Structure 1
């Protein structure tokens, strides 16, 4: 019975010692779902397939370790990231190790060079000396997030790859020097040991200790079979396999020197030297020595304790030097030469960039998982800025962590109900879920997102009513809410409501119509007689809207200054009192006649929006016909998009102009009943006032649909070549999507100035948010899709451009706001 109990207890102790629940061991390139336990270390490894959704797996025919016999390479995408979530995350100190072995897996026999990042921060550049020599990167780092990202970045010098990733939690009182930054392992030397690397299980933290034996007869190895206690270094928990061996000179007066050259001239080091007396000294024997670094006394009068560890670490980063030399000399009182058991060298590594706030990161990762988002979403969502996830806009504040403020998942193939993880995006301002297959009710938690300003739910299959709080916010103007009419209530409720209301409405509609017609007629007469005045955008009150030809001549100083020309005629500069105006006169040779003149005058009289030019007055006197409208001091957009323009519009200004023009079109399409199609959207017809606010102009070709239900009208083709929708040209079917095509061309011109090869106007000197520009290009390309039904709506365009503008403004705000002896020469390149 006692024997059985002992066996049980032994089993429990072994199991506890080998508990690996808090470590991460990934063998890259093994089959998805497969696991194994390494026979030499007892470490259990898993496939990397659960930590990344890209890459190609390969085998290596000859490898020293099993973990090096496979790898994952990344021929696609510039940046590919593994995302890990350790059991203990934020605030925990970890040893993080990445291993690489080329092994000519691609049969190209060309050693690649690529960068490795830890989260948003540059870790190091991976270089190889030979195809058969493995390399490692190891760092001691305190996580500031629950998420850990190891990213491989293609620098156009070969395809990045990786063999394994290992993450080991350390005790919080180990290597406290990480308070100054992270510690990048340069080397660990196990002096006096045989030619094997010491790691787990001998070292419970799985540090890699390389063997370092004497290479000349002047130095000898020392070994002991007795235990070496922790002594003054209990926190480092150095294993017996390390402290049980040492090196010492044979000659009493011979020093022990260690030299190394830094790989980078800016590297600063932390040094850990470990000592223990492992010889049985006689009564008349003493061992005492001093340590010098580059000739300066570093530590004095060290007496290593009998079979007890003493660790001497750097108290602060060592001064930068082109070469470092540690020299250990005996003191005058010592009867024995110096001794050393082990050495650790670390480069201080600053990793300053902040990762996305954990709440937002968790939310967006769960959204990616639940919906299976088919985008290259890898690494940290918001950091670094240049790799911001497509569809996201983040806010950046030096005092705070990056937060997600905009999420565009339009046309992303989402299905199922709206995921509750969205409720955790508490700082979100814009959320676009349009044109997916989302079902179920629109959840109440969307109403609790207090920062939400724009919400687009159109093009889904929701059931039930839109939450009252969302509708209330929309009515107050604090939320721009877009949804399909069918989503405003559930089918049963709507049917009952219609039954209750429809009958009495039908019974009284005729009488109401008569009454409303009479009231409208009276109101129009009163308005014309008593309120025959209008304010321009400058605040000018025009007593009348109809002007005589002689008055037009006076206003324009006899048509003295021409400020524009078009198919309608010439446009003249003028004044009414102290206020500048523009006067467009119909020329006798104009290809546009009375019909177009009347169409423009009528539209300017009937529609009013801050992004449409305002009517001041008109003239109809015999053959003289003209329209007076507000003067736009900065002319049309086209004049500012040529190399000869004195002012180069920056990216924020271009986006604002695009937003303004889009809002004008959005009003015509969705704010007018029935909807109006402009038909001649182009850069020349986008005018800019003194503040560079954009307004749509030239409404002579506008057409209104006969009824709101009409999807198109048939009409002769009119418009400007280059901006004209090919579908409209072929079918003569005019729809709102015709304007979308033209606006897409305008947007491309704004971005590129017509030079598609340069993509973004080089005159902006790359001073713009790249993701914002990419989003704008995506919007423009969506607008000019060959098939009209694949084009977005103007609502969608306005939302998308607003996102681009938010991202660019956030960016701009952040921008403001070898050895002297034959014993040891540490080669840091090989050590890594």
Structure 2
């Protein structure tokens, strides 16, 4: 009986050990595996890999679930490739990953794409893949094959944002997104802390793909077909040697290739996309054949026929790794050549190639980001809040403003007014320790106002108006409001005064009634005095107007006019008439005397901010041209900042150009508008000292007065060449997708020709009546394809019903396409553009474009847009 019990215990121990070993091999605690496009809340285990996949619905708020076409489905495809999520809305759409191991760890991140003709267009899109605020890769997939983009990344934040950015060449999409925790010693580049994008990962000597669970990190090892080689393999396990930290799986190392001719070399070649592209190369090798005592395998490594290293002799059934880095060639050929001492042919087991890239990793501080995500979840906010709250600047969360002086950005302002918030103020806001302004007005918030708001040392403005809070307010908060360190906005409440008195904060006395009488008398006298003063001022004003009505007309003329905020309120009738909105803020209609004006007020959540406000005011003070909007004045009073312009009765060009417009602009009027706008831009480039680049030329920034005369507007992003003789300025990318110069985007070198490219897109919009970017068509590519077909009639806005001059139309198209040439040196100057448009307007045969303006369709490709 005792023998049986001992046997039973041994058996149970073996079972437990077996279960533990299986569990260890199946540890997915460091995995995030997302199948994009499957039903929200669903999950499954992949039968091929044993990996557990979940829906992407909880990682992103935007996009549409899609399936590949039935013709593209195949049993050989990974199941993740049968569905996808596409993004027809928004320029930037981001997945938010928060691995539980957090920052300071190295992760493998893999984005997988299979177009599968899901939209039945047979034309895969091109778009950009970003890791947070940093560009990762340009996604360029084929119709009939799946593509992976992989990066090894040392995370500096608990949040990892994978973003897909529309560049005007079709709607972005994604099939799967995978994250794998790596060991901290793997693929380390400790000196420069760079990330590694995968170029190739190849397994030799087999025809099968190796991944999880054979590789516990789920790297995908692809086989390669080779000629003049022979496959060899072993069934014995391959151990890891001391020289490799990359944990190459035994399944990969147990196969290899040798040359069919024992004396021949082994070759591995590839082409670089850029000569300056650096490569990290890991060659993994192990001896997998049993050698006799007199047998030796030894080889040297050559790169592009130059000796690189060696001799190398693989260790018996043990993995070793040879690592090197290099660059400065357009193509590479790796050669393994046996030495004269070797009795056996050379051998190759596996190789990995990576391109190191340096990511800035400027992200919102983790505590602030956690607060924002918690706030979004608590209140169920449906705003377009995705990706990093603070970067990039043009995608900053609506209502949020961030500091811009540190690598880890901090939230300094949040406006959640009119956001439908209900319940109590979330305690998470206590973590926004450097916030300066918090607006929670006009929601349905209830409960008591929390005391922690008083402990936010940098908080200067707190707006709680329009909610249903219980009283009294925290004494600490009232104290800060009383001493002036906090501007608190909230409705007055008599009960609050009562409560305060009951706690001894105020005292009643016998003389209180007398004091109240005195206060009432003083208030009455003051009110009468104020009323009399107002009547006198009104009488004087009316008399002056009667004496000289010209005064009010001259009031709009002086430049450098500074207005107070109360004057701006009076001009706009308390901001009652909204005529436009933009990234800067809201534009209101107003009256200065009897003359109409437009007032643009900076919003607290503006992505442009104070710097652009100051830039625009300064520029408009010094620039005077009939085709540039005139500055009437400005307001700069604390947080109240605004610019007052001449009023442009017919709004912006886009309002008259595209399909929604009821009034179709004639061909002649389109030429005139183009000519007007070109003259304004030409003056900025060639008439100003120093020259000024607008940096955001687009239809919405070309305004039309009552006579449809065009004038350039919105100069907040403009830059001047402050250095005499400078040909460019190196600057952070700014502008609007669809209009952005691809050369400026890739080099950060801003030139006058960057404006020329944007103006060329405007000309194409004038010609076609199409927007720069429609649902999935970029206007430059569309016009190019139509030009190749040789039919200008199909390019011109069909709403003109053929009422245009064909010769002039061709010249306009030719000029526009020259402006949007991919190479800036081939684009015309704005002087050239003005001259050509002037000739077109006169109806004469336009001058031939000079050589630098010649239309080169071959040089044109999709734009590199933000």
**Given the alignment, which residue of 265, 280, 284 partners 1:274?**
284
Describe the shift of the 1:683–1:749 C-alpha distance in structure 2 as closer, same or farther (beyond 3 A): farther
Which residue of structure 1 aligns with residue 297 of structure 2? 287
CA contact (8 A) 1:661 1:686 kept: no
Deviations along 1:427-454, one digit per CA (max 9) or x if unpaired, are 1111111111111111111111111121
Shift of 1:751: 10
Higher relative contact order by CA 8 Å / sep ≥ 6: 1 or 2?
A: 1
Deviates more, 1:371-380 or 1:262-271: 262-271
Shift of 1:265: 3.9
CA contact (8 A) 1:293 1:326 kept: yes
- Kindly report structure 1 stretches of 4+ aligned residues shifted beyond 4 Å: 490-521, 600-603, 623-627, 635-640, 656-669, 678-688, 691-694, 744-755, 758-770
TM-score w.r.t. length of structure 2:
0.63
CA contact (8 A) 2:275 2:327 kept: no
Shift of 1:507: 7.0
CA contact (8 A) 1:683 1:746 kept: no
Which residue of structure 2 aligns with residue 435 of structure 1? 442
Deviations along 1:599-625, one digit per CA (max 9) or x if unpaired, are 16599xxxxxxxxxxxxxxx99xx998
Cα distance in 2, alignment partners of residues 290 and 135 from structure 1: 34
Shift of 1:458: 1.0
Cα distance in 1, alignment partners of residues 522 and 125 from structure 2: 83
TM-score w.r.t. length of structure 1:
0.65
- Asked whether 1:113 is paired with 2:126, we answer yes
- Asked whether 1:599 is paired with 2:538, we answer yes
Which residue of structure 1 aligns with residue 627 of structure 2? none
Which residue of structure 1 aligns with residue 106 of structure 2? 93
Cα distance in 2, alignment partners of residues 170 and 262 from structure 1: 27
Deviations along 1:743-771, one digit per CA (max 9) or x if unpaired, are x999684898974337999878556999x
Which residue of structure 2 aligns with residue 48 of structure 1? 56
CA contact (8 A) 2:284 2:321 kept: yes
Cα distance in 2, alignment partners of residues 504 and 446 from structure 1: 37
- Is the radius of gyration larger for structure 1 or structure 2? 1
CA contact (8 A) 1:97 1:136 kept: yes
Describe the shift of the 1:166–1:509 C-alpha distance in structure 2 as closer, same or farther (beyond 3 A): closer
| Residue pairs, 1:214-613, within 5 angstroms | 214-216=226-228, 219-314=229-324, 317-397=325-405, 399-486=406-493, 489=496, 510=517, 598-599=537-538
CA contact (8 A) 2:66 2:84 kept: yes
| Residue pairs, 1:686-765, within 5 angstroms | 749=645, 755-757=651-653
Deviations along 1:283-302, one digit per CA (max 9) or x if unpaired, are 22211111011222221111
Shift of 1:134: 0.6
Cα distance in 2, alignment partners of residues 27 and 273 from structure 1: 32
C-alpha root-mean-square deviation of aligned residues, in Å? Answer: 4.6
Cα distance in 2, alignment partners of residues 127 and 815 from structure 1: 25
Which residue of structure 2 aligns with residue 614 of structure 1? none
CA contact (8 A) 2:98 2:159 kept: yes
Which residue of structure 2 aligns with residue 76 of structure 1? 89
CA contact (8 A) 2:270 2:333 kept: yes
Describe the shift of the 1:332–1:483 C-alpha distance in structure 2 as closer, same or farther (beyond 3 A): same
Describe the shift of the 1:108–1:475 C-alpha distance in structure 2 as closer, same or farther (beyond 3 A): same
Deviates more, 1:84-93 or 1:233-242: 233-242
Cα distance in 2, alignment partners of residues 233 and 365 from structure 1: 43
**Given the alignment, which residue of 117, 122, 126 partners 1:104?**
117
CA contact (8 A) 2:363 2:407 kept: no
Which residue of structure 2 aligns with residue 33 of structure 1? 41
Shift of 1:500: 9.3
Which residue of structure 1 aligns with residue 168 of structure 2? 156
CA contact (8 A) 1:203 1:238 kept: yes
CA contact (8 A) 1:636 1:686 kept: no
Cα distance in 1, alignment partners of residues 525 and 220 from structure 2: 93
SS at match of 2:322: strand
Cα distance in 2, alignment partners of residues 666 and 755 from structure 1: 17
Describe the shift of the 1:499–1:206 C-alpha distance in structure 2 as closer, same or farther (beyond 3 A): closer
Describe the shift of the 1:509–1:480 C-alpha distance in structure 2 as closer, same or farther (beyond 3 A): closer
Shift of 1:666: 12
SS at match of 1:110: coil
Shift of 1:123: 1.0
SS at match of 1:369: helix
Describe the shift of the 1:379–1:239 C-alpha distance in structure 2 as closer, same or farther (beyond 3 A): same
Shift of 1:16: 3.1
Shift of 1:133: 0.7
Describe the shift of the 1:767–1:463 C-alpha distance in structure 2 as closer, same or farther (beyond 3 A): farther
Cα distance in 2, alignment partners of residues 287 and 692 from structure 1: 70
Cα distance in 1, alignment partners of residues 223 and 47 from structure 2: 21
Shift of 1:470: 2.7
CA contact (8 A) 1:24 1:168 kept: yes
Which residue of structure 2 aligns with residue 127 of structure 1? 140
SS at match of 1:309: strand
Deviations along 1:436-482, one digit per CA (max 9) or x if unpaired, are 11111111111111111211111111111232333333333332221
- Asked whether 1:202 is paired with 2:214, we answer yes
Describe the shift of the 1:660–1:100 C-alpha distance in structure 2 as closer, same or farther (beyond 3 A): farther
Deviations along 1:583-605, one digit per CA (max 9) or x if unpaired, are xxxxxxxxxxxx987416599xx
CA contact (8 A) 2:555 2:592 kept: no
Shift of 1:19: 2.3
Cα distance in 2, alignment partners of residues 667 and 366 from structure 1: 39
Deviates more, 1:352-361 or 1:1-10: 1-10
Describe the shift of the 1:271–1:508 C-alpha distance in structure 2 as closer, same or farther (beyond 3 A): closer
